Amino acid sequence: MSDSRLAIAVSLNLLLTVAEVIAALLSGSLALLADALHNFSDCASLVVAWIARRISRRGADSSFTFGYKRAEVIGATINLTALIVLGAYLLLEAVMRVFSPAEVQGGLVIWVSAIAIAVDVGTALALLSMAKGNLNIRAAFLHNLTDAFSSLVVLIGGAVILTFGWNWIDPLLTLLIAGYILYQSIPMLKKAIHVLMDGVDSDTDISEVHSKLEDVPRVEKIYHLHLRQIDETLMSLEARIVISPVHLEEIEDIKASIRGLLHQSFNIDHSTLEIELSSNAPQRDKPACGYPVITPGPDSSSSHSRP
């Protein structure tokens, strides 16, 4: 169902782009041409979102052991970069139009903009339920939402031109559209790059993670603690855990306690834990229960936990 929504959205936006380009050339409206280019970028963004969505569904393999989930983050990066380039281009064109004003046919601009608003709002609504928790689809949703806004601005501009003959309003509105595109796109691009660079989620305080892990019973020290975002929602943790001497069977209990803490407090379900024993443990000890106490020695091995 989600893929069919994307296909319908691509088709509608492609038809709208063609109509807006023709209308922009006939009316002489730079703002309408800006909206047409934005619509074309909508088509491209939806295609990229669809391809990235398909790739992200692949399971892990020997080449990509975490799977292909980051394909959607890459798709979002492509879309947002395209939006920023488009916004910069429109800023340049608008400034040039200020110095070389052209006559605009307001009536044609109004009709085409009204159609564009209907298509953009419909597409945005179709993507709304898919956009939550998905940066890739949210980038495509942002494309259509900003396009609906720009179409509304163009419609208002057409009405002003038709009523008062103020052709200078066209490049001014183009500047507003371009500024809005950049304002919305740059923060989202920063977030996508943050994920691709293995950055820690801004809502997660690594010092708090460290502190709470050291509060787990038997844990004496945490070091080589690393957090990374695999995709927008999945975070991975790696750490070396120094524990006091315990019975062999208790090591799994400690790791289970740590995993439970990570899930409940930080929503981290993917962890690799290397267990080490504190150096101040006695060399030999046999407790009454009969289980040997694990103590560090010259060739002591580490226990690794895999999710």
The C-alpha atoms of residue 273 and residue 22 are separated, in whole angstroms, by 61
Given 166, 196, 226, the domain boundary residue is: 196
Q: Given this model, what pLDDT does residue 180 score?
A: 79
Q: What is the pLDDT of residues 160-208, one digit of tens each?
A: 877 887 777 878 877 887 887 788 788 888 888 888 888 877 778 888 9
Residue 291 DSSP code? P
Instruction: Tokens for 259, please give them.
Output: 């995993």
Q: Are 113 and 148 in contact (CB under 8 A)?
A: no
Q: Are residues 179 and 256 in the same domain?
A: no
Q: Is residue 287 part of a domain?
A: yes
pLDDT at position 245 = 78
Q: What is the CATH number of the domain that holds 267?
A: 3.30.70.1350
Q: Strand (E) positions, the chain?
A: 219-229, 235-243, 270-277, 303-305
Lookup: tokens for 142:
């942002």
Q: Is 201 a domain residue?
A: no
Asked whether residue 230 is domain-assigned, the answer is yes
Cα–Cα distance, 108 to 52 (Å, whole number):
37
What is the predicted pLDDT for the residue at 75? Answer: 83
Looking at the fold, whether 36 and 175 belong to one and the same domain comes out as: yes
Residue 77 within a domain: yes
Burial of 9 (0-12, 13-18, 19+ CB in 10 A): buried
Question: Residue 266: CB partners within 8 Å, gap ≥ 6?
Answer: 204, 209, 235
What token pair was written down for 162? Answer: 């038709």
Claim to verify: residue 83 and residue 212 sit in the same structural domain:
no
User: 230 and 187 share a domain?
Assistant: no
Q: Which domain holds residue 119?
A: 2-196
Indicate whether 97 and 236 sit together in one domain: no
Considering the domain architecture, whether residues 25 and 146 belong to the same structural domain is answered as yes
Supply the pLDDT for residue 290: 37
What is the three-class DSSP state of 205?
coil
Same domain flag for 213 and 180: no
In this prediction the pTM is 0.63
Q: How many domains does the chain have?
A: 2
Are 108 and 177 within one domain? yes
277 in any annotated domain: yes
pLDDT of residue 66: 75
Residue 100 placed within a domain = yes
Structure tokens that stand for 62 in this block: 């020997």
Instruction: Extract the tokens encoding 128.
Output: 């709304």
Considering 165, 196, 227, which residue would you say is the last residue of a domain?
196
Q: Are residues 189 and 272 in the same domain?
A: no
| pLDDT per residue as tens digits for the range 274-298 | 888 886 444 444 333 333 444 444 4
Q: What is the CATH number of the domain that holds 161?
A: 1.20.1510.10
Q: How high is the pLDDT of residue 133? A: 62
Q: Name which of 52, 47, 43, 55 is nearest 12 in CA terms.
A: 43
Whether 14 is in a domain gets the answer yes
pLDDT of residue 141: 75
Residues 211 and 190 in one domain: no
Residue pair 222/242 in contact (Cβ under 8 Å)? The answer is: yes
Q: Domain check: are 232 and 171 in the same one?
A: no
Percent of the chain topping pLDDT 90:
3
In angstroms, how far apart are the furthest CA atoms of the chain?
97
Same domain? For 42 and 182 the reply is: yes
DSSP lists the bridge partners of residue 228 as 236
Would residue 80 count as lying in a domain?
yes
pLDDT tens, the chain, 307 aa long: 466 766 777 777 788 788 878 887 887 777 677 777 767 776 777 787 778 878 888 888 888 877 887 887 888 888 788 888 888 887 887 787 777 666 666 677 788 778 878 877 777 777 776 666 667 677 777 767 777 777 787 788 878 877 887 777 878 877 887 887 788 788 888 888 888 888 877 778 888 998 899 888 888 888 889 888 877 778 889 999 998 877 777 888 888 999 999 999 888 888 888 888 886 444 444 333 333 444 444 444 444 444 4
Q: Where a domain ends, among 175, 196, 217?
A: 196
Sign of CA dihedral 13, 14, 20, 21: positive
